[in-house]
Every structure is written in C-alpha cells, then in structure tokens.
Amino acid sequence: MSFTAVVLIILMTGMLGYALYDRFIIPFRKGKNILSIKLRKHNYTDEIIFAGLIIILFISNKVRGGDGLTSILLFFLTIIFLYYVFIRSPKAYFKQSGFYYGFFYTDYDRVKNMRLSEDGVLVIDTDRRRMLLYARKIEDLEKILNVFLEH
C-alpha cells in the first residue's frame, strides 16, 4: 500500500467519523435537545472548489493510469466531499446546560457576550473563542435568542 493510499484512508476515516459523530452522537450527548437549528453554510464556494479539485485528481489519476487502489480511494473521497458540499448542513444543538456548535460544546455560563450582525450572523463570545452562527432565517435567530434568555 502506498503512502498516498494511507493518507487517503486516514482522511476518509476522519471525515466519516466526524459525519457520524455530528449526525448520530451529538444529538444524544449531554441530555435531550431543546432546539436543533440548521445553519447556513458560509464558505460554500470554497467547498465546491475543493470538491472540484478532488474530482480533477480522480480524473487525472485515471487518465495517467494510476494505481487502482488510489483511484478507488479518490472516488470514495469525492463522494464524501460531495456529501459534505451538497447534502450536509451545519447545525447547532441546544441542550439544557449548553450548546453544541461544530465539534465543541459550550456551557451557557461561559457565554460572555452576544451580538447580532446586520446580515443575520449571531456572534457569540466566550472566554476561549468567538463563534459565528449563520442563521438561515430570522425566525431561527429568534428561537436561539429565546433559548439563551431561558437559560
């Protein structure tokens, strides 16, 4: 097995692991969901460009007569990226004592400041980092703000 195949397998395993964690594990961690909001993608064109580059790599490998295993792995990596670009959307899960955004859980007590930008982005400052929640609809922002006010 070549170094390229090992790197592709590690990359695909990490991406599939995160997709499964985000989809099936986070909704059940730290208690029941109070609110689950689908968020807007903010780097959509970057994702499309990256998926296109992976497709170009797959086609280039096939044309040059590359290793069969590498072609198969690039094909599956392309499918995973297309899932990330066109099917998966980011979500925020709000629980009793905190919320999940991305890979991280944040307690409500750690929120220091919240601001709403004019283009519908909720900026949440904690003691460690700043989170940007890109809401799809204004109604979603109202629901999020109600959860923060209750907790």
Let me know whether 73 and 134 are in one domain. Answer: no
Confidence (pTM): 0.77
- pLDDT at residue 54, as a whole number: 84
Residue 45 lies in a domain: yes
The DSSP output letter for 27 is G
Distance CA 133, CA 75 (A): 32
Residue numbers of the domain that contains 109: 91-150
Local mean pLDDT, 10-residue blocks, the chain (151 residues): 87 90 85 86 83 86 83 87 85 88 85 84 87 86 85 74
- pLDDT at residue 9, as a whole number: 92
Let me know whether 82 and 100 are in one domain. Answer: no
Q: Which of 147, 150, 66 is nearest to 101 (CA)?
A: 147
Q: What is the DSSP string of 3-22?
A: HHHHHHHHHHHHHHHHHHII
- As for how many domains the chain has, the answer is 2
Distance CA 103, CA 98 (A): 13
Residue 35 lies in a domain: no
